[in-house]
Amino acid sequence: MGFEQVIKALRNGLPSSNLYFEGEREYETLNGSYLSAMESDLRPAAIFRPESRKQVAKFVKIMKPFALGEHGEEATVRFAIRSGGQQPLPGVANIQGGITLDLGLLSSVELQKNGKQTIVSVGAGARWGAVYDKLDGTGLGVTGVRSASGGVGGLSLTGGVSFFSSREGFVCDNVLNYEVVLASGEIVNANEHENSDLWISLRGGGNNFGVVTRFDFRTFKQPGKFWGGSVFYFLSSWPYHVGALLSELRKKDAADPNTHVQLSIGYSSQFSQFACQSQLSYTGADANENMPEVLKPWADRHPQIEQLNSVRLMTLKEAVSEQPAETKGKVRYVIMQWQSFTKDQDTNSSVRCAYMNVTVKADAPTLFEATEIFTNSLESVKACSGLMSSLTFQPYSVNTLQQTARHGGNSLGLNPSDGPLINIMVSTYWNKKSDDAAILKYMSNATSYMRREAQRRNKLVSFVSMNHAWAHQDVIECYGEENKRALQETSIKYDPEGLFQRGVPGGFKLFN
């Protein structure tokens, strides 16, 4: 009953050609294009793809009474909001039996002048590759994610780390303005001068306040090329690479703000072996044909898989499309399997995927304990079909944390005095739905154990990255009491009836 009423209302108020139903080719293509098949397992009653912010506003107005149950419980139909669809937690960007609002057609990318500053305005459905294409050759950079296929929407509302984060802060810290459709259907701007409380709340608050239709990002001067690439090696070299990262983060003069290093271990069940990666970048204006000294502790360290060393002078477009050098054999296959950031999401995916994470202070014993927990915990799921699991150490330097205040603040609750920090992420891909419970149990047990051990050492930081979290992780609580209260107050002010709490059930809600 509710479904029929909603569809009738949507068809009467919006272009029916943009409304897709189960069994139709466009529906199946869109619903199969999420990062994780666990999200694609959900079957919305319909998918609507707006072509403008006005259509988004009309959609919200139509859906509101149905989503809030104003026509009775039997007529309640809720909705989900999709930007890129790359957060694997089921229900974040899709919904069983409801309506999925797919923002993929809102993909414009425009450069605009705001006084002396150049802003790049990006539709909520755009991919970062299109943003980098627009900036190519302009001498400008933007704090965006490290993958061309990544969606703009998710990380811009939840945090986000970039090649430039050590110097410029998190991705969300660089959003100067959000264009938002509120629960009332009103279209507003949220920035330092208008609706500033909403602006801060959107910097980390996810989908809790409205439908963001456009992001306006600050740009900065950036040379055409910078040093970047990856070094691959085996598990025996992992302790050295971790030690080099900690040494860089702890420099008395603070870590070089132009340097970004991320470390990962990956395991493939198909070949029963581990491979390791150090992902490097140096974005300083002084980049030239000589490799910066700051990268040499990783890039020049041996033993390594020399055929796969891709560290070189490159453009931003090349960096976000980075693929290991061509080679053959098992090693390359293992490495390519667990490089989830290079996964092409333009085709249907049948791979299941999950992320979980913990944040700790940059401490060697804590990181080595996390490594041991990861490698030992894997034993319980090594037989799962298509298993590919990785452990990633993503640093938040003191300078990264300091940029939040410089750029106006956010809702993440991270304090520079606690830094430098390491966000530890466990990500896993697998083939069969029948393995879901075992793999999620392995990941939950491993990250919980890492958390307990870090707490025992007094090295635990409460922060959990929303974009890399799972349902049992209370992300909003981990932002701290003050930030949680501020987010709740923003929700009550801009969405007093709770449309984006009750009517959009996916993601991490504020009043659990």
The DSSP bridge partners found for residue 428 are 354, 389
Residue 328: per-residue pLDDT: 37
| More confidently predicted of 345 and 288 | 288
Q: Enter the tokens of residue 301.
A: 């360290």
pLDDT by residue (tens digit) across 145-193?
Answer: 998 889 999 899 999 999 999 999 999 999 999 999 999 999 999 999 9
All residues at 6 or more sequence positions from 102 whose CB lies less than 8 Å from its CB, including other chains? 30, 47, 48, 49, 82, 125
Q: Enter the tokens of residue 204.
A: 């980390």
Residue 331: per-residue pLDDT: 43
The answer to whether 65 and 478 are in contact (CB under 8 A) is: no
d(CA 333, CA 124): 34
d(CA 43, CA 99): 9
Domains and CATH numbers, the chain: 2-105 (3.30.43.10), 109-222+486-492 (3.30.465.10), 226-473 (3.40.462.20)
**Strand 211-221 to 117-123 pairing:** antiparallel
pLDDT by residue (tens digit) across 87-100?
Answer: 999 999 999 999 99
Residue 348, pLDDT above cutoff 50: no
Q: Which helix (H) or strand (E) holds 196?
A: helix 196-202
Percent of the chain with pLDDT over 70: 94
Residue 308, pLDDT above cutoff 70: yes
Residue 334: per-residue pLDDT: 47
Residue 281, pLDDT above cutoff 50: yes
Residue 9, pLDDT above cutoff 70: yes
User: Chain-wide mean pLDDT for the chain?
Assistant: 92
All residues at 6 or more sequence positions from 459 whose CB lies less than 8 Å from its CB, including other chains? 360, 361, 363, 366
Residue 6: per-residue pLDDT: 94
Q: Helix 2-13 and helix 53-67: axis angle, to 10°? A: 160
Residue 110, pLDDT above cutoff 90: yes
Q: How far is CA 229 from the centre of its chain?
A: 20
Residue among 158, 190, 14, 172 nearest 92 (CA): 158
Residue 3: per-residue pLDDT: 84
The answer to whether 284 and 455 are in contact (CB under 8 A) is: no
Residue 317: per-residue pLDDT: 85
Distance (Å) of CA 108 to CA 105, 216, 349, 458:
8, 12, 25, 46
When pLDDT is cut at 50, 70 and 90, the band that residue 253 belongs to is low
Residue 125, pLDDT above cutoff 50: yes
| More confidently predicted of 265 and 287 | 265
Residue 286: per-residue pLDDT: 81
Q: Enter the tokens of residue 457.
A: 């050492």
> How does DSSP assign 359-410, residue by residue?
EEES-HHHHHHHHHHHHHHGGGTTTSTT-EEEEEEEEE-HHHHHHHHHTT--
Distance (Å) of CA 419 to CA 35, 100, 185, 338, 433:
31, 39, 41, 28, 39
When pLDDT is cut at 50, 70 and 90, the band that residue 318 belongs to is confident
Residue among 200, 183, 190 nearest 486 (CA): 200
Residue 272: per-residue pLDDT: 87
**Strand 46-48 to 99-102 pairing:** parallel
* Dihedral sign from CA coordinates of 282, 286, 291, 295: negative
Residue 119, pLDDT above cutoff 90: yes
Q: Enter the tokens of residue 219.
A: 């740009």
Residue 254: per-residue pLDDT: 63
> How does DSSP assign 334-370, residue by residue?
HHHHH-GGG---SS----EEEEEEEEEES-HHHHHHH
Comparing 283-292, 387-396, 473-482, which segment has the lowest mean pLDDT?
A: 283-292
Residue 338, pLDDT above cutoff 50: no
d(CA 306, CA 127): 32
Residue 320, pLDDT above cutoff 60: yes
d(CA 438, CA 462): 26
What's the whole-number mean pLDDT along residues 292-305? 95
User: What's the burial of 302, exposed, middle or buried (CB within 10 Å: 0-12/13-18/19+)?
Assistant: exposed
Residue among 133, 139, 87 nearest 107 (CA): 133
What's the whole-number mean pLDDT along residues 257-270? 93
The answer to whether 111 and 120 are in contact (CB under 8 A) is: yes
When pLDDT is cut at 50, 70 and 90, the band that residue 251 belongs to is confident
The answer to whether 275 and 307 are in contact (CB under 8 A) is: no
pLDDT by residue (tens digit) across 465-509?
Answer: 999 999 999 999 999 999 999 999 999 999 999 999 999 999 999
User: What's the burial of 409, exposed, middle or buried (CB within 10 Å: 0-12/13-18/19+)?
Assistant: middle
